[in-house]
Amino acid sequence: MTTLVHQMMIKNNTHEASFRDPSGSLFYDQDVLRRSIQPIYFSQYVALKERGFFDSLIQKKLLIPHTETSVSYEEIIITPEKIPFVTNPYEWSFEQYKQAALLTLKIQKYALSKGFILKDASAYNITFHKGKPILIDTLSFDFYKENTPWRAYKQFITHFLGPLVLSKYHGAEMLKMMQTYIDGLPVQLISSLLPSKTRLSSILYPNIHLLAKLEHKYNNDYKNEAKSGNLSKKAHENILTSLYDYISKLKQKKQSEWVDYYSKTNYNSEAFLNKKKLVKDWILQLETNSLIDLGGNDGTFARTVIEHVSNILVTDIDSNAIDLNYKQVRENKELNLLPFVCDILQPSAGIGFCNTERESLIKRLINFSPDVTLALALIHHLTLSGNVPFEKSAAFFALFSKNLIIEFPKREDSWVESLLIRKREFINHFDFYDQDNFEAKFGIYFILIHKVRIEGTHRILYLYKKK
């Protein structure tokens, strides 16, 4: 394929997030995502390639693998390994975010030892793939110049350290602020939200509070009169080591009511096992290759088919539940299960310039197009807590689901009764919450394949196929 044809492709099919980087851009060649490298970055790319830097990072599973597709004087095109589903920083749990930060520091320290640096340290350059965080921006590197500071240092603070320490003191909800601040949390905001005692920290004072002071001082430095100080490679390495050690020890103190969710079920263990078996049997009957478990907590049900399904997504609104899930992924070395934080009542929107730099969750789910969607113990929360009518819920699932396994707790279910009681004077508004109405509304979008009452419960399990 000629370079001219590729240039036309790039013009017409460029990835929406690519305009920020003059070194190159991502583009779609039909369904294949490729990266075009411009002449301004040729010297760095060639050096990184010929010195074996790329190969080393790929071997260490720190950088997404790629193949060189074409080379010319106008551009170099590489094809990165396909990632089934990309998650964004505001969809990570605390532990996931922490591991992404440590990965970034690890890469920077290794790059420094080989005469290179990370020229940017954006959290959006990291995603999770095959059970681990991985760098997906192949063009993030530049040559290291002796006695110069790490120019991506402040970006690392605003993208990683800041969100993590705010989460430590205020809970994982702080991580969602990255959806508002796509360029990183303002360092002065981070400083203002931290407890005053953090000013005594040998890590947080220089890297956040002092940085905020300096930023304020030079806020109106339109002539760029502020001078960057010299920083030896050894001092640079010491900073990286101190940040790494501090972040690796960070913990969240905040717990949640959903962490041990499955120990609080309102039915006996036999019913629970019957439900697991039924779900597993239906998934296997459908010869499922891809699956999403919405509200899947720690991934208990998804793991019943982990040896049979190539790509599994598990979401939950609770960051602590996702933490538990992710720890299992790491401990079990599960390459095909990806947990992430998701509030179904408010799924991640498209953000960035024109709301297109980072795709909405709905768009990504449509592109992922799972063979099976699991929605267990979920519809009563959507309906009674979120006030979402059945028809709207059905329309939501129909956007991306080929097959839907959904559980319906009847009004006699103790959890449903509890949710209805909370409605107080509005309880009569939810007279529509019954089995017949549920089936009628979901029947607009889906064909009923199976319907089974879970013995020992007031719950019905449905298998639907999208019309």
Phi-psi category of residue 28: left, alpha or beta, with phi > 0 → left and psi -120 to 50 → alpha: beta
CATH numeric code, 261-466? 3.40.50.150
Q: Decide: 293 and 299 in contact? Cβ < 8 Å.
A: yes
pLDDT of 1 higher than 50: no
What is the three-class DSSP state of 351? Answer: strand
Query: What is the SS3 assignment for 204?
Result: helix
**Exposed/middle/buried for 395, CB within 10 Å: 0-12, 13-18, 19+?**
middle
**Residue 284 confidence (pLDDT) above 80:** yes
pLDDT of residue 422: 83
Instruction: With beta carbons less than 8 A apart as the criterion, state whether 352 and 358 touch.
Output: yes
Question: Which pLDDT does position 2 carry in this prediction?
Answer: 46
pLDDT at 115 over 60: yes
pLDDT at 7 over 90: no
Helical pair 319-332 and 94-113, crossing angle rounded to 10 deg: 50
Give 145-175 pLDDT, tens digit per residue. Answer: 999 999 999 999 999 999 999 999 999 999 9
Record the pTM: 0.92
pLDDT tens per residue across span 372-427: 999 999 999 999 999 999 999 999 999 999 999 999 999 999 888 888 888 766 77
pLDDT at residue number 264: 57
Residue-level pLDDT at 266: 59
pLDDT recorded at residue 8: 47
CA–CA gap between residue 87 and residue 315 (Å, rounded) = 11
Higher model confidence: residue 219 or residue 132? 132
Give residue-wise pLDDT tens across range 233-281: 999 999 999 999 999 999 987 665 555 555 556 577 888 999 999 999 9
Residue 357's nearest CA partner among 185, 164, 179, 187 is 179
**Could you give the percent of the chain with pLDDT greater than 70?**
91
Q: Indicate if the pLDDT at residue 4 is higher than 70.
A: no
Query: Per-residue pLDDT averaged across 325-338, rounded?
Result: 97
Predicted local distance difference test score (pLDDT) of residue 438 = 97
CA angle 284, 287, 291 (to 5 degrees): 80
Determine the Cα–Cα distance for residues 219 and 394; give it in Å rounded to an integer.
50
**Mean pLDDT over each residue of the chain, to the nearest integer:** 91
Residue 309: CB atoms within 10 Å? 22
Which residue in the block uniquely carries the two structure tokens 């420094």? 112
For 89-218+228-248, CATH number? 1.10.510
* Token representation of residue 78: 């590489």
pLDDT score, position 74: 94
Q: Where are the beta strands (DSSP E) in 325-370?
A: 337-341
The lowest-confidence range among 17-26, 86-95, 109-118, 365-374 is 17-26
